């Protein structure tokens, strides 16, 4: 399956792009997707946590992805 992946903040710096298309296995969950990301981009392991949104909705790790989903990788945000 093809998943459009969007990166924001520091994650886009770490992977050197703000979007790309990734192939995942059928019935992959958000957790499977996170594992794949860390395998392909080990520099993401340095981020303690980040949120995942699927089709503009925050997603839990057990959500099963579908072909052509848009997945956003959102790092922690701090500000003042």
- pTM, two decimal places: 0.90
80 belongs to a structural domain: no
- Which helix or strand (DSSP H or E) is residue 37 part of? helix 30-40
Domain that holds residue 17: 2-74
- Predicted pLDDT at 80: 57
- Which helix or strand (DSSP H or E) is residue 20 part of? strand 19-23
Q: Tokens representing 63?
A: 């959500």
- Predicted pLDDT at 44: 87
CATH of the domain at 17: 3.10.20.30
pLDDT tens for the chain, 80 residues long, are 999 999 999 999 999 999 999 999 999 999 999 999 999 999 988 777 889 999 999 999 999 999 999 999 999 876 65
How many whole angstroms from its chain centre is CA 26?
Answer: 16
Q: Encode burial over 53-67: b for 16+ CB neighbours within 10 A, e otherwise.
A: bbeeeebeeebebee
Q: How many structural domains are present in the chain? A: 1
């Amino acid at each position: 399956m093809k998943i459009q992946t969007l990166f924001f903040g520091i994650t886009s710096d770490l992977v050197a792009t703000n979007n790309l298309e990734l192939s995942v296995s059928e019935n992959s969950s958000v957790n499977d997707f996170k594992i794949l990301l860390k395998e392909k981009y080990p520099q993401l392991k340095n981020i303690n946590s980040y949120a995942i949104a699927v089709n503009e909705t925050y997603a839990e790790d057990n959500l099963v992805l579908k072909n052509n989903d848009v997945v956003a990788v959102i790092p922690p945000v701090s500000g003042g």
